[in-house]
Amino acid sequence: MLTLAARRVARIGGAVRAPAATALSRAGFADDAAAADAAAFNPASGLVMPRKVAVIGAPVASGQGLDGVDDGPQILREQDIRGKVTDLGWRFEDLGDIEPVRPSATDPADTPPGHKARHAFAVGRSCERIAKAVKAAADDGSFVLTLGGDHSIAAGSLAGVLASRPEAGVVWVDAHADINTPESSPSGNVHGMPVAFLMRLAKAASTPGFEWLAEGNELGVPALLPSRIVYVGLRQVDVGERTLLRKLGIKAYDMHAVDKLGIARVMEEALDHLAGKAGARPLHLSFDIDACDPSIAASTGTTVKGGLNYRESHFICEELARSSLLSSMDLVEVNPRLGAAKEDGGKTAAMGVELVSSALGLSVL
């Protein structure tokens, strides 16, 4: 059964309080918002009018080994995400945080022979809760914004999206491919495996905690097809992942491709692949903040030099917004306890909220 912390309340500043009533940000803005709704609306996105953003916090940290990433939803809310969203004409509903399942000594064994998936039971059960919350919000016609937490949460958020919008395509922005299986993973960290579980390359039925995602599951989650995901920004891919990407023919743009082609062409090709020749469909953006260069997003657990710069990061989000097909998004791996300087956590969170704004239609003109 789905458990939301204190049932649809927001955990902000360490306290639990009910979210403020949904409203447009300022008097006299309603007409402008309605006009923006009409201009940007595309029924193929799966959204309904009036446009509403439903925020779900996913403070899951068990998919990796560093403390602090579970503070991500809180610090992102503290950057006035509500105000920035409503200023763009969207209605806003904060559904609070799912209550993550914590690893326990009594959990079923995570590691059969040759199988490495640390804290799989806790992560899998947490993702099930996320999936149910996301599906409910997507069924309501909302733009679902899931705030992590580590990237393992995408096994839940994207499962919920696919259960509601089975034709959805995915833009995965990340320094890493996150397509390791428990057998191929060098670390055993589940935040490097969500795509494998969603594609059923990893055996959910035999992985404690992930049984709910197996073929024929009650939630109605279809397998993510290799043709319906595009990677952007890769720069640290494990050997087993590289083999899978090539074998499955998955469209992937590493940073060499971004440098060579330019981010405009990369996004043009990505959108054509997902929603051009294949026809318009809902799009989901899974944005790991470590896709950004550490110079602009230092507070994350797996920084890799040579990432997306400020404008490249925003351009991805802007182009998806302009497609009028973007209907859900993850923002993950913001860890305010990391970074060389005290202020890095706030700066990284601010960058994340700026990216959300761009994905929801913020533009200069």
179: Cβ–Cβ under 8 A, 6 or more apart, which residues?
193, 195, 196, 199, 201, 241, 244, 245
Whether 151 sits among the annotated catalytic residues: the reply is yes
Whether 284 sits among the annotated catalytic residues: the reply is no
Q: How far apart are CA 302 and CA 306, in angstroms?
A: 13
Q: Which residue matches tokens 């996913």? A: 58
Active site residue: 288, 293, 312, 318, which one?
A: 288
Q: How far apart are CA 121 and CA 167, in angstroms?
A: 28
Active site residue: 150, 238, 333, 344, which one?
A: 333
205: Cβ–Cβ under 8 A, 6 or more apart, which residues?
211, 214, 215
Whether 333 sits among the annotated catalytic residues: the reply is yes
Count the alpha carbons within 13 Å of 171 in the hemisphere toward its beta carbon: 35
Active site residue: 115, 176, 284, 314, which one?
A: 176
Active site residue: 115, 119, 151, 314, which one?
A: 151
**Cα torsion through 252, 255, 257, 262, rounded to 10:** 120
Active site residue: 94, 110, 128, 174, which one?
A: 174
Active site residue: 70, 93, 128, 191, which one?
A: 191
Count the alpha carbons within 13 Å of 74 in the hemisphere toward its beta carbon: 17
Q: Which residue matches tokens 């469209």? A: 251
Q: Which of 198, 353, 197, 352 is nearest to 290 (CA)?
A: 352
Whether 238 sits among the annotated catalytic residues: the reply is no
Whether 176 sits among the annotated catalytic residues: the reply is yes
**Angle, vertex CA 292, rays to CA 290 and CA 297, nearest 5:** 75
Active site residue: 97, 110, 150, 290, which one?
A: 290
Six-digit token pair at 307?
């990432």
Active site residue: 110, 128, 150, 178, which one?
A: 178
Whether 191 sits among the annotated catalytic residues: the reply is yes
3-state SS, residue 126:
helix
Q: Bridge partners of 172?
A: 231, 286
Tell me which residues are annotated as active site: 151, 174, 176, 178, 191, 288, 290, 333
